[in-house]
Amino acid sequence: MDRQFNISGGHRAAGGDWYAVENPAFLTPIAEAPLTAPQALDDAVASASAALGSWAKDPMGRRNALKGCAALLASNLEDLAVLLSREQGKPLPAAKREILSAKSYLEYFADKTVHQEVILRDTNRTVVALSSPVGVVGLIVPWNFPLVLLMMKLAPALWAGNTVVVKPAPTTPLTTLAVASLFAACLPPGVLNTVTGGADVGASLVSHEGVAKISFTGSTPTGKKIMESAAQTLKRLTLELGGNDAAVVLQDADLETSAPLLFERAFMNAGQVCCAVKRLFVHRSLYEPLVEKMVAIAKHWRVGPGLNEGVQMGPLNNRQQFEHVKGLLDDAVAGGGRIVAGGDTPPDWPGHFIRPAIVVDITDSRRLVREEQFGPALPILPFDDEDEAIARANASEFGLGGSVWSRDIERATALVSRLEAVNLFVNQHATPPEPAIPFGGMKSSGFGYEFGDWGLDEFVVRKVLHSPVGGMA
Ligand code: NAD
């Protein structure tokens, strides 16, 4: 079977134990990935540390390297997209879009310049802000968007002069390793290192004394463990965690345009999107027509292996997630809920497929409403009054995103601002990440930002330089 290697210090890391990475549509092995041993993790951190000095000193070299990495993604687009689709499960066009997005993030940072911030200038003194890299940064990512989520961290981290150790999810390491191997042609040895394996490898990276910061995207329970462990070494943290986004559809919403968009924003990537629409609150007067429209779309949504022509939704990425979503659906039905479309597994393939499920007659207390489903199952919940809708939307431990849908933009804007969430939308939800626009969470969805100048700040140490007048240009 093919093997993908870790990159450490600019070379393939020596192999130890290996494990098979599975295609979630067919449950057949694709290739083997390494299980990083403790010594190999130490070596990766040591390589990152050794590379730091010269990398941090060369901003122009860094920008050129990012440009080179973007070009490598472009010239390997087809192969990478097939590999991503096979290991993650997503349709091939979506895999291509993911790689092109990743490329655009690298290009954005390759072109980004800084201007010095003057904090104070008076007759006696000048106070300016300086930025230094944080040091060796651990980037830990999940399996839903392996490349996009990695590149949201990697591009700004490298731009700011840090060196990194990347830890992909155990079910989706292959594209990341292929990309790291390609990037070795553009990046100085040790700037980008990878480690692979399960929770233990991630935990060792978090507790490592040589790592100055962890930028983590993943589940809230793992985020809590990371925060606890990071306290021992006082690591800086960015935690992008789970979500349970509400979309609130007001009485005057335009269902013709809203329904297809709401469906897409709930079921894209088989619902495995942190900021997907996960609870759909709709004014009682529109409840039945909206349910009808969502059911009609669900019934025609083409589910199948990601490499099959015309497929709109692939399988869930792994067995654990499949069981989780099935469990939430069972709980919904046990509580009187009705699955009016989907929720079943097509018999055609052995993999982790669930057809898009629309669930009605469900109460807010059921697990499908309270917990993050992170899969293709959407509860639709009627409301009578807008204050009630906002209160129910906010009655969640999570605070990632939210939206309000209405023809009256002013009213929707006022209402959406009352949501306890960071990424807010009117007549939209979960738009694709853009490097100039910050993204983040509050409450159990974590803290810190990705992208935008706020996100860039997560990868620098701010210094404050006081000098006498004339001391600074
Ligand atoms: P997960 O927390 O199980 O795993 C994420 C990564 O952390 C994996 O690489 C895993 O191996 C590693 N890991 C596991 N235990 C660890 C530990 N103790 N210490 C360090 N690393 C550890 O999450 P998942 O199931 O892979 O991903 C799904 C979750 O990610 C969902 O909750 C989703 O909402 C969230 N997510 C959030 C965002 C965001 O931007 N807020 C984006 C995408 C996904």
> What residues make up the domain containing 295?
246-426
Dist. CA 198 → ligand 1 center (Å): 11
Domain presence at residue 439: no
My answer on whether 146 and 266 are in the same domain is no
Q: CATH number for the domain including 312?
A: 3.40.309.10
My answer on whether 354 and 325 are in the same domain is yes
Report which ligand 1 atom has the smallest distance to the Cα of 203. Answer: 19
Report which ligand 1 atom has the smallest distance to the Cα of 445. Answer: 41
- Average pLDDT of the residues of the chain: 97
Domain presence at residue 35: yes
My answer on whether 66 and 23 are in the same domain is yes
- Hey, whose CA ends up nearest to atom 34 of ligand 1? 242
Domain presence at residue 109: yes
For residue 305, pLDDT beyond 60: yes
- pLDDT tens digits, one per residue of 425-461: 999 999 999 999 999 999 999 999 999 999 999 999 9
Report which ligand 1 atom has the smallest distance to the Cα of 441. Answer: 41
Q: Which residue has the tokens 């309000």?
A: 404
Report which ligand 1 atom has the smallest distance to the Cα of 439. Answer: 40
Q: How many domains does the chain have?
A: 2
Segment 339-366 shows an average pLDDT of 98
In sequence order, the 6+-apart residues with CB closer than 8 A to the CB of 100 are: 73, 77
pLDDT at site 418:
98
My answer on whether 278 and 404 are in the same domain is yes
Q: b/e for 403-430, b at 16 or more Cβ within 10 A?
A: bbbbeeeeebeebbeebebbbbbbbebb
pLDDT at site 36:
98
Dist. CA 61 → ligand 1 center (Å): 32
- pLDDT tens digits, one per residue of 206-236: 999 999 999 999 999 999 999 999 999 999 9
| The two three-digit tokens of residue 119, written as one number | 């904090």
Domain presence at residue 473: no
Segment 411-434 shows an average pLDDT of 98
Domain presence at residue 88: yes
pLDDT confidence bin for 174, thresholds 50/70/90: very high
- pLDDT tens digits, one per residue of 91-139: 999 999 999 999 999 999 999 998 889 999 999 999 999 999 999 999 9
Contact status, residue 359 vs residue 332, Cβ threshold 8 Å: yes
My answer on whether 204 and 84 are in the same domain is yes
- pLDDT tens digits, one per residue of 252-290: 999 999 999 999 999 999 999 999 999 999 999 999 999
| The two three-digit tokens of residue 187, written as one number | 């990046």
- Residue 312 CB neighbours (<10 A): 18
- Hey, whose CA ends up nearest to atom 42 of ligand 1? 274
Query: Distance of CA 164 to CAs 161, 187, 468, Å?
Result: 10, 12, 37
In sequence order, the 6+-apart residues with CB closer than 8 A to the CB of 385 are: none
For residue 473, pLDDT beyond 50: no
My answer on whether 82 and 226 are in the same domain is yes
My answer on whether 131 and 48 are in the same domain is yes
Contact status, residue 241 vs residue 446, Cβ threshold 8 Å: yes
pLDDT at site 470:
59
- pLDDT tens digits, one per residue of 58-73: 999 999 999 999 999 9
My answer on whether 250 and 389 are in the same domain is yes
My answer on whether 172 and 66 are in the same domain is yes
Dist. CA 176 → ligand 1 center (Å): 16
Dist. CA 27 → ligand 1 center (Å): 22
User: Would you say how long the chain is, in residues?
Assistant: 473
Q: CATH number for the domain including 69?
A: 3.40.605.10
Domain presence at residue 19: yes
- Cβ < 6 A, ligand 1 pocket: 140-144, 149, 167, 169-170, 198-199, 202-203, 206, 217-219, 222, 225-226, 240-243, 274, 372, 374, 400, 441, 445
- Hey, whose CA ends up nearest to atom 38 of ligand 1? 274
- Hey, whose CA ends up nearest to atom 30 of ligand 1? 218
Dist. CA 465 → ligand 1 center (Å): 38
pLDDT at site 458:
98
Domain presence at residue 18: yes
My answer on whether 103 and 227 are in the same domain is yes
My answer on whether 275 and 300 are in the same domain is yes
My answer on whether 328 and 388 are in the same domain is yes
Compute the CA torsion angle 145, 149, 150, 151 (nearest 10 deg): 110
User: How large a percentage of the chain has pLDDT more than 70?
Assistant: 99
- Hey, whose CA ends up nearest to atom 3 of ligand 1? 219
For the annotated catalytic residues, the residue numbers are 240, 274
Strand 446-447 relative to strand 401-405: parallel, antiparallel, unpaired?
unpaired
Domain presence at residue 367: yes
Segment 297-315 shows an average pLDDT of 98
**The amino acid at 354:** I
Q: Which residue has the tokens 């349970």?
A: 244
